[in-house]
Structure 1
């Protein structure tokens, strides 16, 4: 009986393809083991293909009534009608503008306040109880008051997104800045930095990548707030279209609107990631 010999010298062992060994194959399935960029794209695409295949099988196969769930073919046809006949591109533009307006306004106020809270414990002690209290209040609960205060115009919708985003950003930024490495702070003091220099040259640069990641995450939450705001007292936007489609029992348009929201969010998420990698390239080298 022939036996497989294993090379004994280091040079011979290096010539053996690592990927072909059972240990290498098991390692590719190990926890936290990274996958290649190509495999990540293929796996992500495979899920969407499987999802649409199951959806088509249930709807086109007659297992689900079209009244409750439109088929992918019907959804595409209704989506085309939205663009061709009802000017849906304008609704998309209005929704994107509202999201960006409320989110940018929240970031302009929340990021400096979060940095101040993370850097100075006195400021944190003053603001944190109130901000923690407000963080648990749903933004949708403010809609009746905001309609009374700001009417049903654009200000009301932007304020809903602002309320839903600002408190989350403040606390997350404060935690990020406050968790700075103490050895770097002490080293900066040793080199002659003052209190202001510690904030501007140690805390903010060190926390900047995580702050950008926080903004990316909260931007995703802002999309949930704008749809809620547009469901009430709105004459334009994706949420308004979904409400009208619900009254007509047009599940194809409802699903298309939901998918459009997801696609816009996915594109903005990838753009945010690409910008972060370009601006803070040094942080991805660790």
Structure 2
């Protein structure tokens, strides 16, 4: 009598590189967001910390609502989004072709990568006096700070994305007689596109981290400016509200990049 073969055990969600259903994913995501907020609410309600230094979630939410209806929250958010988007777009417009060339050609790598490495370690805030001297205190100065904070990192990451294109693809294209231009346009850039989009998603986060620094440059509006102004008067509910709003906007942009990545490169999200 032959033995009955039992079906293979279904792999658990905790195995390495395991798979989650969308329902499970969003359940864990909600839990990951809920736990810190619950800890914050419990700590503020316990009375262990002075509310001046740690206002509760309800107080912060109330402040955000009053900010929305009384203090032009939409205007502050819109101008901050504009500054981040403009600085980021300028960085991407220059960093993408430059990173592609650095990753493709060793002479350009030798010429530009050490210089880029050197500049990227300089803090963006150190450039504020020069930016104000060269560009004044208008919007161009704030956009420039965000540009400085993201451009040099983006160049090196894009170059590395290009260098990681499999050598077999390059050799196959050379065997078929591809020119340098065709190699860059049809092989390197096409193969590196998924990684480059991930690089743009990551550096968008860095652009938001430089927002407060950018709005140090004689700003009179924006979320970063509101946070800095609230600091002077110990309005920690406004500080918390501004930080959370920046996080929410950044999270929405991040999810937008992830959605675009899934739509453009569905094969990179397939699970075995």
Q: Normalising by structure 1, what TM-score?
A: 0.90
Listed as ranges, the matches of 1:159-238 within 5 Å are 159-238=144-223
Q: Select 1:28's aligned residue among 6, 10, 13.
A: 13
Q: Which residue of 2 aligns with 1:3?
A: none
Listed as ranges, the matches of 1:105-184 within 5 Å are 105-184=90-169
Paired with 2:228 and 2:254, the residues of 1 have a C-alpha distance of 26
Is residue 89 from structure 1 mapped to residue 84 from structure 2 by the alignment? no
Q: Which has the larger radius of gyration?
A: 1
Paired with 1:47 and 1:205, the residues of 2 have a C-alpha distance of 35
Q: Which residue of 1 aligns with 2:4?
A: 9
Paired with 2:234 and 2:149, the residues of 1 have a C-alpha distance of 30
Any gaps of 5 or more consecutive residues in structure 1?
1-6
Cα shift readout 1:91-116 (whole Å, capped 9, x = no counterpart):
00000000000000010001000101
| Shift in Å, 1:232 | 4.1
Q: Which residue of 2 aligns with 1:59?
A: 44
Paired with 1:50 and 1:122, the residues of 2 have a C-alpha distance of 51
Q: Which residue of 2 aligns with 1:258?
A: 243
Paired with 2:167 and 2:52, the residues of 1 have a C-alpha distance of 61
Distance 1:285 1:43, change over 3 A: closer
| Shift in Å, 1:284 | 3.1
Q: Normalising by structure 2, what TM-score?
A: 0.94
Secondary structure of residue in 1 paired with 2:210: helix
8 Å Cα contact 2:141-2:217 kept in structure 1: no
Paired with 2:260 and 2:14, the residues of 1 have a C-alpha distance of 30
Paired with 2:61 and 2:26, the residues of 1 have a C-alpha distance of 24
Cα shift readout 1:180-202 (whole Å, capped 9, x = no counterpart):
21111111122221222111111
Aligned residues: 270
